[in-house]
Amino acid sequence: MSEVISRRKSVGVMVGDVQVGGDAPIVVQSMTNTDTADIEKTVRQVAELWRAGSEIVRITVDRDEAAAAVPHIRDRLMAMNVNVPWSGTFTISAISFWPTILPAPKLWQNIASIRAMWALRPSAIRSSRK
């Protein structure tokens, strides 16, 4: 006997051109396991995940070197026509470089979303996107 599982009601949000939540179908999401500062490995893995069917790919930005790699990763993925929305997940140890990267909207162009761990208030992210 099969059991129907009901979904919790949520508000849909767009991550790039992919809707997550709301009435949207379940989305395949992946997260790289590379050192984001290693540009070549991260680009290769994001592209592989996209080709395998991932609809959103997340990367970890946990220190200054990883943050510095983000625009290079973006540029290489764009050159390869890898059009998967991707997001940066920031950790508590990354707080030291937030003042440097938040005011730089060009750095985050083409990155679908920024996910921050509990250490950063969401209002700080919203105000940086103006």
pLDDT tens by residue, the chain, 130 residues:
678 888 888 888 888 888 888 999 989 999 999 999 999 999 999 999 999 999 989 888 878 788 888 889 988 999 999 988 877 776 655 555 555 555 455 555 445 455 544 333 344 434 443 3
- Residue 129 is predicted with a pLDDT of 38
- Residue 25 is predicted with a pLDDT of 92
How far apart CA 27 and CA 97 sit, in angstroms, is: 31
Residues whose CB falls within 8 Å of the CB of residue 62, separated by 6 or more in sequence, listed in order:
36, 90, 91, 93, 94
How far apart CA 126 and CA 19 sit, in angstroms, is: 19
Is the pTM above the cut of 0.95?
no
- Residue 81 is predicted with a pLDDT of 93
- Residue 64 is predicted with a pLDDT of 78
Check the CA dihedral 18-24-28-30 and report its sign: positive
How far apart CA 97 and CA 90 sit, in angstroms, is: 10
CB 37 within 8 A of CB 66: yes
How far apart CA 44 and CA 121 sit, in angstroms, is: 32
